[in-house]
Structures are given as structure tokens and as C-alpha cells.
């Protein structure tokens, strides 16, 4: 891990490496993960990908605009989202993973799931990473499954479930409390032999707008875990509520928060709009070098 301090010590990048799909990626400049939701009810793009051709078109767009990874999800985790059975999740997820892997064999694919069985099936279908919004809490077999599969793992913080998380926003100190929980889990994963752990504070998941903004201001503290940090703020309700805009109008606010996260050492941005995020990552990196 290398720290590179830039303009008046206010901009810095942290250069980690991630081995995904047999390729080595570095987080300086920051990497961009493009969202591909094959769900009918996600808060911004739910129901937009109705056919295989829609999935492939978006995947191609993300890759052409600079995404290092495509994050395919089949279970909406917006606040209050409806539960999805394991069978329905797989019925949505696997055809999308298989199709993207077949048409874009060089692409790195992440499976967005909190179920160990879906994670394993996704990897077997052609994916290379697991993005777990429940951070192992939903499935007692998730950590050992990740260790067995030997793939990168995004460890996200969410108190409770998508149905209950916004009832769980009480913290003594949101940054410190999440760090304590993540430190335990990172140690467990490392002990199991998981080499590539990526931490995600879970912006918008069981946090108020004020808590989300505090996490972004204090994102540099997460580097004590010695893991790349992922920021997923794209078009979320913190932006909508702060600026009084809709999700469709939240791109500008997203870019602002992405910039702040990058200036505090975020190494991966998970976004709906890859081109803007990739340009943001490059500009912040150049600032850190000036």
C-alpha cells in the first residue's frame, strides 16, 4: 500500500491492488464499478433492463466509458424493498451473468448478493467478485464460501435488512461504530484466507443524510483496516433530500460526493453513470500528483 499526498495535504490517493478475474487492478486512479440492476424495483433504474439486449447494451456502455467491473444485482436493496425468494433472485441473476460473460469475456463481473448460494452460482456462471450488502450477516456460510471461491469480496455495512434498516440509525459515533464492526469481520475474512477484501461503509443503508455526509468527511479513517474503500453514493436519497431533487436529477450531487469521497481516499466508486465518475477519478488523481 502506497500513500501519495497531494496539494497542501488535502487530496490523497491510496494505491491498493485487487486481483479480479486473473487481472491485477490498482486503485490509483480510483476504479469505477458500473451498476447493472436486473430488478423491477431498484430506486433509480428498476425495470429498465427488460430484455437480454438491454443488459448487454448497458454493459457495453459501462465498459466503453471506463468501468473496471460490472456489478450485476437481482435483489433491490432500496429502503423498504420487497423480499425476493432465492429462486427468483437466481432466475434474474444467472441469465444476466451468463450473457455478459459470453458477450464480454474480458469483463470483470461482480455479483451483488447477500446469499452464499447465489454468490457461488454467480461465480460458477462467469462472475469474478462478490458484493455483499449485508456484510456476511444474512448468511452464515458467506465468508467461508468467499474463501473457498478465492474471489474479491466487498464487505458492506447494513444494520438489519432492506425492510428494516432505516429503523436502525442510532449510533454512538457512526464512523467509529462501523469501523469497530468491520475490523472484526476483516480479521475473520483474512483468517480464512480471503486476500482481496474491499470495505464499503454502506452509504444510505441504515444511515441518515447527516450520518452519510459524516462518513464521507471521515472516509480516510477506514484505511486503518488496510483495505480498499468503496463509495456507493450514486443518486441516493441523501443527495435527493439535501438538494430537493429527484433521482433523475441527482447526477451533479453524485459527482460532488464522489469527489469528496475520492479526496478522502476512496479507491472504488460504484455508480450508475460511469463516464462522469471515471472523469472525476482521473481529475482527483491528477490533483493528488500536482
Q: Which residues are tagged catalytic?
A: 236, 270
CB under 8 Å to 280, separation ≥6 — which residues?
255, 258, 259, 262, 269
Q: Sort 209 into a burial class: Cβ within 10 Å, 0-12 / 13-18 / 19+.
A: middle
C-alpha pair distances (Å), 47 with each of 31, 70, 114, 248:
26, 18, 21, 15
The string of DSSP letters for 32-58 reads: EEEEEE--S--TTTTT---SHHHHHHH
Residue 200 to residue 231: CA distance in whole angstroms: 6
- Phi, psi at residue 106, to the nearest 5°? -90, -10
CB under 8 Å to 184, separation ≥6 — which residues?
none
C-alpha pair distances (Å), 251 with each of 73, 116, 254, 271, 273:
21, 33, 5, 10, 8
Strands of the 69-73 sheet, one edge to the other: 197-200, 153-156, 129-132, 109-112, 69-73, 31-37, 268-271, 230-231
Q: Is 287 helix (H, G, I), strand (E, B) or coil?
A: helix
Q: Closest by alpha carbon to 47, among 86, 74, 82, 87?
A: 74
Q: For strands 23-26 and 17-20, give the pairing.
A: antiparallel
Amino acid at each position: 500500500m502506497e500513500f501519495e499526498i497531494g496539494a497542501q495535504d488535502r487530496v490523497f490517493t491510496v494505491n491498493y491492488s485487487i486481483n479480479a478475474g486473473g487481472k491485477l487492478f490498482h486503485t490509483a486512479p480510483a476504479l469505477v464499478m458500473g451498476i447493472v440492476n436486473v430488478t423491477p424495483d431498484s430506486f433509480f433504474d428498476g425495470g429498465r433492463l427488460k430484455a437480454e439486449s438491454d443488459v448487454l447494451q448497458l454493459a457495453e456502455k459501462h465498459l466503453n466509458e471506463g468501468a473496471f467491473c460490472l456489478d450485476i444485482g437481482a435483489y433491490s436493496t432500496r429502503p423498504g424493498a420487497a423480499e425476493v425468494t432465492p429462486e427468483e433472485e437466481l432466475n434474474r441473476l444467472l441469465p444476466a451473468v451468463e450473457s455478459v460473460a459470453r458477450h464480454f469475456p474480458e469483463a470483470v463481473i461482480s455479483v451483488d448478493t447477500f446469499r452464499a448460494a447465489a454468490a457461488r452460482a454467480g461465480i460458477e456462471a462467469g462472475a469474478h467478485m462478490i458484493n455483499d450488502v449485508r456484510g456476511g450477516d444474512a448468511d452464515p456460510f458467506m465468508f467461508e464460501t468467499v474463501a473457498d471461491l478465492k474471489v474479491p469480496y466487498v464487505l458492506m455495512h447494513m444494520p438489519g435488512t432492506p425492510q428494516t434498516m432505516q429503523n436502525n440509525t442510532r449510533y454512538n459515533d457512526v464512523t467509529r461504530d462501523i469501523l469497530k464492526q468491520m475490523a472484526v469481520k476483516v480479521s475473520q475474512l483474512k483468517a480464512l484466507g480471503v486476500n482481496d477484501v474491499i470495505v464499503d461503509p454502506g452509504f444510505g443503508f441504515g444511515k441518515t443524510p447527516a450520518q452519510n455526509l459524516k462518513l464521507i468527511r471521515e472516509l480516510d479513517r477506514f484505511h486503518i483496516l488496510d483495505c480498499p474503500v468503496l463509495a456507493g453514493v450514486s443518486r441516493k436519497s441523501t443527495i435527493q433530500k439535501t438538494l430537493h431533487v429527484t433521482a433523475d436529477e441527482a447526477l451533479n450531487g453524485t459527482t460532488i460526493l464522489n469527489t469528496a469521497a475520492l479526496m478522502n481516499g476512496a479507491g472504488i466508486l460504484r455508480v450508475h453513470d460511469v463516464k462522469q465518475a471515471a472523469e472525476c477519478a482521473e481529475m482527483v488523481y491528477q490533483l493528488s500528483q500536482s
